Amino acid sequence: MTMSQANLEHLLSRRVLDMDASGIRRAFELGARLENPINLSIGQPHYPVPQVMKDAAIKAIRDDCNGYSLSGGIDALHEVVRGHLKHDLGWSTEDPEIGVIVTSGTSGALLLSAMALVDPGDEIIIPDPWFVIYPQLGPLTGARIVTCDTYPDFRMTAERIEPLITDRTKFILINSPGNPTGVVLDEGEMRDVAALCRDRGVQLVSDEIYDEFVFPESARPDGSCPSPGRHDQGTLVIRGFGKTYGCTGWRLGYAAGPNWLVDQMRKLQQFTFVCAPTPLQWGVVPAFDHDNSHQIEAYARRRDRVVEVLSPHTDVVVPGGAFYAFFEVPASLGIDASAFVERAVERRVLLVAGGVFSSRDTHVRLSFAVGEEILEEGLQAIAELLQGR
């Protein structure tokens, strides 16, 4: 006997019924139709995991490190993460008020932070355009999602956030370098956002999964990425290993910040994910010693090429980091981004329509985390489409 639609809706939670996955599904379906696609829709680097990390993960499996770890993560990884935070953000390795938790991907840290911070009816401020998980933190927790319109320059500044804060605001989520825009806030903007959150007593959560992908003109003089964590240790900094080291499938990230919050996230992890995959935690211990600056330089060159080819035909905000460009569909074409993406599919090019990441469907996300030849072929096709050819 099959369940009727009405019955299923009775059994399923409001939470899942309220989630709309059709945009992302559509992107996958379009791709599945193509035989030899020029795939510029991918959200992960195209290079392999460093050999030292593969070896460390394999060694851990061989050495029988296959059981649960402490729910907050293995000590060896905590040690290197704390060392990195000291070097990068100037955070003390000894300060008991700073907590670190190893999570199942950056996504795991985002979910745990939201679960630890909000009650139904509370408000979370997120950027528009957003990373796809952010709006879903609403149905997942019962919170109300308030979007911060960052068009046309995609900068989520204190000035834009301030009018959105109410007495129900619990936390503000920023993402720099940003997905889908590649925009990087500068040090002054970070300082202002951190100060605003501190003054108004709301928690700042900074999704820095692309922190290593920052191009020279957007980086600090020492090459590192601007972060509110340098201005306020009360910031919850969320970072990941997947993008930087090409191991998205390992599902490893971490959150670091005020221990009163990290401690609650640890408690939630104990009763949900239990711990992040143990052998793979061992796998990322050597990560911070690995220099992948040549990969980032290669992506900066691809970024230059994207801007060079597309900007004569449309508005494209120069990405300061990550590996995405978010370009506008010219009004002269008279179509929305979804229609543009369909046209691109006819030329075997896979892109993602802005409507997947935004309340507007006016822009298109292109990922340049691909080989140079593929990118070049895709760019030529997109340039022709932008000219209505």
Residues near ligand PMP (CB under 6 A) are: 43, 105-107, 131, 175, 179, 207, 209, 240, 242, 248, 253
Least separation in angstroms between residue 340's CB and ligand PMP is: 22
Contact yes or no for 123/168 (Cβ under 8 A): yes
Closer by beta carbon to ligand PMP, 266 or else 385 = 266
Least separation in angstroms between residue 380's CB and ligand PMP is: 27
State residue 314 phi and psi, 5-degree precision. -160, 170
Least separation in angstroms between residue 319's CB and ligand PMP is: 13
Least separation in angstroms between residue 198's CB and ligand PMP is: 23
Contact yes or no for 379/306 (Cβ under 8 A): yes
In angstroms, the CA 127 to CA 136 distance is 13
In angstroms, the CA 382 to CA 389 distance is 10
Least separation in angstroms between residue 5's CB and ligand PMP is: 32
Write down the H helix ranges in 90-174.
Answer: 105-117, 133-141, 158-161
DSSP assignment of 267-304 equals: HHHHTTT-SS-HHHHHHHTTGGG---HHHHHHHHHHHH
Q: How many CA atoms lie within 13 A of 222 on its CB side?
A: 7
Closer by beta carbon to ligand PMP, 175 or else 358 = 175
Least separation in angstroms between residue 146's CB and ligand PMP is: 18
Helix, strand, coil shares, percent, the chain, to 5: 45, 15, 40
Q: Which residue is nearest to ligand PMP (CB)?
A: 105
Closer by beta carbon to ligand PMP, 72 or else 246 = 246
Closer by beta carbon to ligand PMP, 99 or else 253 = 253
In angstroms, the CA 389 to CA 384 distance is 5
Least separation in angstroms between residue 213's CB and ligand PMP is: 11
In angstroms, the CA 374 to CA 365 distance is 16
Closer by beta carbon to ligand PMP, 138 or else 253 = 253
Nearest to 137 by CA among 67, 207, 221: 207
CB neighbours (10 Å) of residue 84?
18
Contact yes or no for 320/218 (Cβ under 8 A): yes
Closer by beta carbon to ligand PMP, 147 or else 380 = 147
Closer by beta carbon to ligand PMP, 73 or else 253 = 253
CB neighbours (10 Å) of residue 44?
14
Closer by beta carbon to ligand PMP, 240 or else 321 = 240
Closer by beta carbon to ligand PMP, 206 or else 386 = 206
Element spanning 205, H or E: strand 203-207
In angstroms, the CA 212 to CA 316 distance is 22
Least separation in angstroms between residue 387's CB and ligand PMP is: 30
Least separation in angstroms between residue 48's CB and ligand PMP is: 17
